[in-house]
Structure 1
Amino acid sequence: MNDVMILGAGALGSYIGGMLSQSGCSVQLVNRSAETAAVIKRDGLTLENDQGKVQTYPSAATPDQATAARYVLLFTKTYQSMAAIQSVLNKLSPDSVLVTLQNGLANGERLAACTDLPIVQGVTMIPATLVKPGVVRSKGFSDTWMGPLNLRSAIESQAARDLADMFVTAGLTAEYQENVAPKIWQKACFNVAMNAICALSDGSPGLVNDTPELKSQAHALADEAVAVATASGVAVDEQALHSLIDSACQEHRFHQPSMLQDIRAQRPTEIGSLNGFIVARANELGISVPKNELIAGLVLARERAPIFWNGQ
């Protein structure tokens, strides 16, 4: 049994899988793209980071070729999670642990709805860009936090501790937190503030920084999301959140958020697990979040626009 399966081996999954492989873990990168798997099998995986370039040779496969692993790290888009897990569920061991470090909210709960396997949830700030198949770049701030989905599960807690240690050994900044929900919400609130604005403006954090009228709206979107988090019983560090927004605007000038990449490629976005989730939860709680409601609607319309215009 492998140490790690990366399910959804795009930029971020490949980078983390590559770093774990380079440290001596047995890693299998699982991706729907047979071409990507073939490139990695032939040439290995090149990682570009602040320390330079690293060449590593993890196993690579398509879902039908996947083999069991102790940790199954899910890095697909949130709307692809269930299909991805179902595609490998019969290959997993009773000792396997599912791990979600995906963007958005309620990812752990979605996994728990389809399996009884232990679940570790968390969030990562690792930036990653797929340069080309088999080459991934990651530079800058890269903290990761992880913990159990079920706070009363000793198995999940120990699994999260062990995985965090594996990350650290591999040169990845990682920290175990018994209650990781505030970190998950903080990253989600940041993405709620930035991702859709960048996607709709065809811009980047740098463009948001250069447009004060837009930057103020990013902070306002975050404030609405924090209000929903608070009403849900999760305490988000507001000062740290707003500092993170300002820092991203200043330091990640030409970063292309995943939602912008999805819109440009005419793919579905993760709006449903970000601004859309905030709207849905706010409706349950009786809270008004008009800015997030507008943004969610605009992104959904933008997703549908190519089909709309092609149908005239």
Structure 2
Amino acid sequence: MPTISPRYDEGKEMFTLKITVLGVGGMGSRFALMLHQAGNDVTLVDGWQANVDAIRQNGIQANFNGKQVAAKMPIYTPAEVAQAGLQADLIVVFLKSNQLTATFSQVRALIGKDTYVLCLLNGIGHEDVLEEFVAKDHLILGITMWTAGMTGPGQVELLGDGEVELQNFEPAGKDFAQQVVDIFQGAGLNPHYSENVKYSIWRKACVNGTLNCLCALLDCNIGELGKTAEAPALLHTIIAEFAAVAVKEGIKLDTEEVYQHVAATFTADIADHYPSMHQDLVQHHRRTEIGFINGAVARKGQKYGIATPYCTLLTQMVHVKEQLLGAK
């Protein structure tokens, strides 16, 4: 485990890490900005050249709860990582799920024997991909309920509050995971250490597997979806498919609690929010993470002999829309 050196600021002892944020979209920008503002050594890696160029020139430009802020941090493309000689104690991953294999293949030089990887992506099954690149005892899984949106290259809108839940994948990683909690706490990211993050990952996948794909397909925000008469039945059916498959993975979801959790967003502060899949597909014509959300449930359902007609259809419909919009 890397040694975290104390950093002193105005008489207060602070612990910092060499952190690389891999994927600097809306959420990656939020975490990078908040960790940077807390005094951590943050480096950025992103594959969108226009975004890299804008951040190099002007830093991350953010509407941060109504206040305009900017922060410059070193940023590289994945292809530049090896030549730059970058090293990281912690890599925080905010790539799109379908970018994991290709991007990690390019940034292998970042991962030393003491490097930990924190995966905060939406969806299910990322550990199956990441174990090719990082030992399981150096892998941390988590979810975040923060929101963020991009308004242009290097420009983001960061509104509201949120939280982070995380847990080491193997018992040996617990001490480092708890140190990450401390670092995130100092950055105002409202983290907490979980004793069952896999349950939370599946629970959040139900949020993404309902709100994300439905809002993207119907071209609406969360509140508009919630006002439709069909929304409750749609949510219940999709969540039931997630739960049926989750049981086979050793996770028992409380379907009514999950439904209430999702439905609460219809009238919450984020009701006017367009989920990330809508941002990607409808607004920017980018490929989505549907394959690691409803698509993962459909694949696992086929493996276990469980029918998942709604998840299968939603996955197919999103892929059709990707093709119609020329998503890349």
Q: TM-score, normalised by structure 1?
A: 0.90
Aligned position for 1:310: none
Q: Secondary structure at the match of 1:29?
A: strand
Deviations 1:235-259 (A, max 9, x none): 3343442222122222223312222
**Sequence identity of aligned pairs in percent?**
29
Aligned position for 1:186: 203
Q: CA RMSD in A?
A: 2.1
Write the distance in 2 (CA, Å) between the matches of 1:173 and 1:239.
26
5+ residue gaps, structure 1, are 308-312
Q: Does 1:59 align with 2:78?
A: no
Write the distance in 1 (CA, Å) between the matches of 2:119 and 2:280.
20
Q: Secondary structure at the match of 2:160?
A: coil
Q: CA deviation at 1:53?
A: 4.3
Q: Secondary structure at the match of 1:291?
A: helix
Alignment of 1:181-260 (within 5 A): 181-251=198-268, 252-260=270-278
Aligned position for 1:9: 24
Aligned position for 2:88: 69
2:22–2:93: 8 Å Cα contact kept in structure 1? yes
1:18 alignment partner AA: L
1:144–1:175: 8 Å Cα contact kept in structure 2? yes
Aligned position for 1:116: 135
Aligned length: 304
Q: Does 1:31 align with 2:46?
A: yes
1:75–1:102: 8 Å Cα contact kept in structure 2? yes
Q: CA deviation at 1:221?
A: 0.8
1:197–1:218: 8 Å Cα contact kept in structure 2? no
2:140–2:168: 8 Å Cα contact kept in structure 1? yes
Aligned position for 1:93: 112
Cα gap change, 1:169 to 1:200, in 2 (>3 Å): same
1:157–1:178: 8 Å Cα contact kept in structure 2? no
Q: Secondary structure at the match of 2:75?
A: strand
Q: CA deviation at 1:20?
A: 0.3
Aligned position for 2:11: none
Q: TM-score, normalised by structure 2?
A: 0.86
Write the distance in 2 (CA, Å) between the matches of 1:298 and 1:43.
39
2:222–2:272: 8 Å Cα contact kept in structure 1? yes
2:58–2:70: 8 Å Cα contact kept in structure 1? no
Cα gap change, 1:289 to 1:73, in 2 (>3 Å): same
Q: Does 1:263 align with 2:281?
A: yes
5+ residue gaps, structure 2, are 3-16
